Amino acid sequence: MTATTSSDVRAPTHRFGALSRLLQRSEAAQGYALLSPVMIIMFAVLAAPLVLLALYSLWTQVGFTVDRTFTLDRYADAFTRDTYRELFLRTLWVSSLVTITTVLIAYPVAYYVVFHVKRNKFVWLVLLTIPFWTSYLLRIFAWKIVLGYGGVINASLMRVGIIDAPLEFLLYNPTAVVITLAHAYATFAILPIYVSLEKIDRSLLEAAADLGDGPWRRFWRITLPLSMPGVIAAAVVIFVPTTGDYVTPALLGGPKGVMIANMIQLQFGKINDWPMGAALAMSSIAMVAIITVFFVWALRYATGRIR
Amino acid sequence: MSEQAYIDIVGVTKRFAGGVKAVDNANLGIKRGEFFSLLGPSGCGKTTLLRMIAGFEFPSEGEIRIDGQNVEGVAANYRPTNMVFQSYAIFPHLNVRDNVAYGLRKDRLSRSELNKRVDEALNMVKLQGFGARQSSQLSGGQRQRVALARALIKRPKVLLLDEPLSALDKKLREEMQFELRQLQQNVGITFVFVTHDQEEALSLSDRVAVMFSGKILQVAGARQLYESPSSRAVADFIGSINFFPGVVKGIEGQEIVVEAEGLGLLRAPIAAGTGGASFKPGSAILVAIRPEKLSLSVEPPPGNAITVKGTVLTSAYLGDRSHYHVRIPGREAPVAVSGTQSARSLDVLHAHGTDIYLSVSGSSVILLPPD
């Protein structure tokens, strides 16, 4: 550090001089630089396979080889064949049921923590994540034990003498799938609803009381509408992953509880018709995308009115 | 309390968890159609008292009667009161019209009757044509008007206002004060107004209750509060004032003789005594003088005003008046003096360290019990 002139200070001497100058000057460049690690992963493991999937969905399986002429026949199959249509509808039905059940279970819990827990709210929130402390698979097996033919529920009910034979509607059907998924996603639903309830200004509820509303009317006219953003966010968070869930229906659903994801897996596996599997996967993505757009629009609408 | 009181607050105490007394044995009678203010520093219990009238809090002891009805155990939604909240509490998911109509929906009015009432209410607060606005598009003053219309549309027996003007800027606040007073005179509803702003309370109200750490110290009109406060705390809270501790020497005719710190022997009319100050010779007494009652002069003033010699420490020019601090012998704290335009013509006052005569007429003195 002997002769530091002004020109020395200004001109960067390290190799990335030009790049760092660019980054300093442009906020957009900085943003892309920060995004790049994620972007690289997204392209490598998401966009590229997706392109491949899209290509496959336009091809045809002939015996053990694939005919690469473009055709929309697979999509026609996906939408017209009864098996697939039934699976799509069942997936929508089960996912909606899971979403509704979960929100209905989660709302009172979030409401209780927000309005009735006075101290240590944070402890409550941490306790609500306990189901996540064990793996997803273990939880599914746990439900199997609870709902099974000789499981906890059936055995206790029989011991007490309320039923003579095990209840069969508990396991290996859509009910089991709904129960298990609702439990798995409950925490995801509680948190956004909690946040939107917590944000409600208490003086609004007092104002409603002051203007003559009892507790029920206050809930319908103030609390529920103002917590709708949380409810819709919860619905998206539950609905989207549920449509693609394949482990739970495979293990607990039985023949009547199979969903579209199980069929896609079959196409890529035993049936060995990759183009058909790809077409089903693409259709499933499109279905979820359309419904999500609707949810996002609803969320915008709900939050736009609350500010 | 009195027979004709519209809101009767009898021995009301409110204890919060931990034993803190937010309101301590409050007794108050508010008359029908009165503009009544609860004034005090923050944390004095005025808002708690208001919330007990509204039904958001319930007294630990004592009772509240509104129009002769004991409201003990009556929830807020069944009380004949409506409130304007400090934050206005405008429902964010409803437009102005729906906000104003909120309290009427339950009454199952016909559509035309409902619309008529809403329009009336909007007119009353000068918000005609704003019905379709979303609450996020409203300014602070407009939000306040919506809150007023929403409460008044219920035609309550009592309108409760919790510092409704504190969120507005000074100019708007003065405008709204005027409008609020006019509105109250037009609708004739009893207003109970909570504020920590003494100017606001004095200028708006028929009567003011001054509260201090849960206790009601004095209930009186603006003039009486200012001219004859009943205690040191009230005198100190309302406006500014100089205190001179003293001792009663005796009574001569209609006058009482007091020896006060820095003022020496002075005579004041017996009527100057407020708050039950004892005039027994030898008892301690507090002489209180408002800054604007004191006058300054270069020559000793003629007549028999109480006069002491002092020196000007500081002076501040405030436009319509000037503030001075004057040091007088025998007293540590300087005396605050407020002079209007005429007194200021003496340029000499602006020079610090000037010798000056400080005088006050005996009838302008307030004699208070010591603490």
pLDDT at site A3:
45
Chain A positions touching B48 (Cβ under 8 A) are none
What average pLDDT does range A53-79 have in this prediction? 90
Closest CA in chain A for residue B162: A203
Residue B161 — very low, low, confident or very high, per pLDDT cuts 50/70/90?
very high
Top pLDDT among A305 and A26 is at: A26
pLDDT the model gives residue A151? 85
pLDDT score of B351 more than 60: yes
Task: State the best of A199, A205, A211 to mutate against chain B, taking most chain B CBs within 10 Å.
Answer: A211
Beta strand pairing status for B190-195 and B35-39?
A: parallel
Return the pLDDT at B344. Answer: 56
Q: Band of the pLDDT at A5, cuts 50, 70, 90?
A: very low
Give the closest-approach CA distance of B67 to chain A in angstroms: 18
Task: Provide the shortest C-alpha distance from residue A75 to chain B (in Å).
Answer: 44
C-alpha A212/C-alpha A231 separation (Å) is 27
B-chain CB neighbours of A212 within 8 Å are 77, 103, 106, 154
What would the two tokens of residue A3 be? 């002769």
Lowest-confidence pick of A106-115, A168-177, B98-107, B145-154 = A168-177
B126 closest CA partner among B92, B160, B96? B96
ipTM, two decimals, is: 0.84
- pTM reported for the whole predicted model: 0.81
Q: Stretch B276-298: mean pLDDT, rounded?
A: 87
User: Can you give the pLDDT at residue A7?
Assistant: 45
Interface test with A, best of B53, B87, B102, B162 (most A CBs within 10 A): B102
- Measure CB to CB from residue B87 to each of A203, A217, A226 and give the nearest one: A203
Question: Is A211's CB within 8 Å of B103's CB?
Answer: yes
Residues 6+ apart with CB under 8 A from A146: A152, A153
| Least confident segment among A166-170, B52-56, B245-249 | A166-170
User: Quick check: B15 pLDDT over 90?
Assistant: yes
| B127-146: pLDDT as tens digits | 988 999 988 899 988 999 99
CB-nearest to B85 from A203, A214, A225 is A203
Closest to B366 (Cα-Cα) out of B238, B275, B247:
B275
- Predicted confidence at residue B6, as pLDDT, reads 93
Round to whole Å and give the CA distance between B78 and B85: 18
CA gap B30, B34 in Å, rounded: 7
Cβ contact B93–A305 (<8 Å)? yes
Tell me the average pLDDT across A107-118. Answer: 94
In chain A, residues with a C-beta closer than 8 Å to the C-beta of B86 are 203
CA distance linking residue A271 with residue A118, whole number of Å: 57
Q: What does the pLDDT look like over A241-254, one tens digit per residue? A: 999 888 899 888 88
Per-residue pLDDT of A257-293, as tens digits, reads 889 999 999 999 999 999 999 999 999 999 999 998 9
Q: Say whether B151 and A210 touch across the interface (CB within 8 A).
A: yes
pLDDT at residue number B280: 83
More confident site: A221 or B351: A221
Interface residue of B50, B77, B83, B108 to substitute, partner A, most A CBs within 10 Å: B77
User: A161 in helix, strand or coil?
Assistant: coil
Q: Do A212 and B106 touch (CB under 8 A)?
A: yes
CB pairs under 8 A between A and B: 62
Report whether pLDDT(B56) > 50. yes
Whether residues B76 and A206 touch (CB distance < 8 A) is answered with yes
Distance of residue B122 Cα from the nearest chain A Cα, in angstroms: 17
Provide mean pLDDT across the span A48-57. Answer: 93
With a cut of 60, say whether residue B47 has pLDDT above it: yes
Q: d(Cα B255, Cα B304) in Å, to the nearest integer?
A: 13
Q: Which domains does chain A have, with CATH numbers?
A: 81-306 (1.10.3720.10)
Contacts of A209 in chain B (CB under 8 A): 55-56, 75-77
Confidence band for B343, pLDDT divided at 50, 70 and 90: low
Which pLDDT value is given to residue B189? 93
Q: Give the pLDDT confidence score for residue A58 in this predicted structure.
A: 93
In the structure, what pLDDT confidence band is assigned to residue A14 with cuts at 50, 70 and 90? low
Quick one: what percent of chain A has pLDDT higher than 70? 93
Distance CA A2, CA B72 (A): 86
Nearest Cβ partner for B85 among A207, A212, A222: A207
Q: Which of B77, B85, B86 is nearest residue A212 as measured by Cβ atoms? A: B77
* Residues of B with Cβ-Cβ distance to A211 under 8 angstroms: 77, 82, 102-103, 150-151, 154
The residue-averaged pLDDT of A69-82 equals 91
Q: Which of B83, B91, B105, B133 to mutate to test the interface with A (most CBs of A within 10 A)?
A: B91
Nearest-CA distance from B99 to chain A in Å? 10
Residue B353 has pLDDT above 80, yes or no: no
Residues from chain A contacting residue B92 (CB–CB below 8 Å): 204, 226, 305-307
Q: How confident is the model at residue B370 (pLDDT cuts 50, 70, 90)?
A: confident
Residue predicted with more confidence, B191 or A63? B191
Single-letter amino acid code for the residue at A174: P
More confident residue, A167 or A111: A111
Q: What per-residue confidence (pLDDT) applies to B65?
A: 95
Question: What is the pLDDT averaged over residues B112-131?
Answer: 92
Query: Å from B159 to nearest chain A CA?
Result: 11
Q: Nearest by CB to B93, which of A206, A212, A306?
A: A306
Residue of A nearest to B98 (CA): A221
What is the arithmetic mean of pLDDT over B175-197?
Answer: 91
| B interface residues, A as partner, C-beta within 8 Å | 54-56, 75-77, 81-83, 85-87, 89, 91-93, 102-103, 106, 134, 136, 150-151, 154
Q: Say which of A203, A221, A307 has its CB closest to residue B89.
A: A203
| A221 vs B contacts (CB less than 8 Å) | 102
Q: How confident is the model at residue B342 (pLDDT cuts 50, 70, 90)?
A: low
Per the model's pLDDT, the better-predicted residue between B319 and B193 turns out to be B193
Residue B89 has its nearest CB partner, among A204, A213, A214, at: A204
Q: What is the mean pLDDT of chain A?
A: 87
Chain B residues in contact with A118 by the CB 8 A cut-off are none
Q: Which of A204, A210, A217 sits opposite B91 (nearest CB)?
A: A204
pLDDT value, residue A4: 45
CA–CA min distance A205, chain B (Å): 9
Write out A9-53 in H/E/C secondary structure. HHCCCCCCHHHHHHHHHCHHHHHHHHHHHHHHHHHHHHHHHHHHH
Residue B2 has pLDDT above 50, yes or no: no
Q: Give me the pLDDT at residue A307, please.
A: 42
Closest residue in A to B138 (Cα–Cα):
A307
B101 CA: distance to closest CA in chain A (Å): 10
Q: Do B102 and A305 touch (CB under 8 A)?
A: no
Q: CA geometry: angle at B357 spanning B354 and B362, to 5°? A: 155
More confident position, B282 or A12: B282
For residue B231, pLDDT beyond 80: yes
With an 8 Å Cβ cutoff, are A210 and B76 in contact?
yes
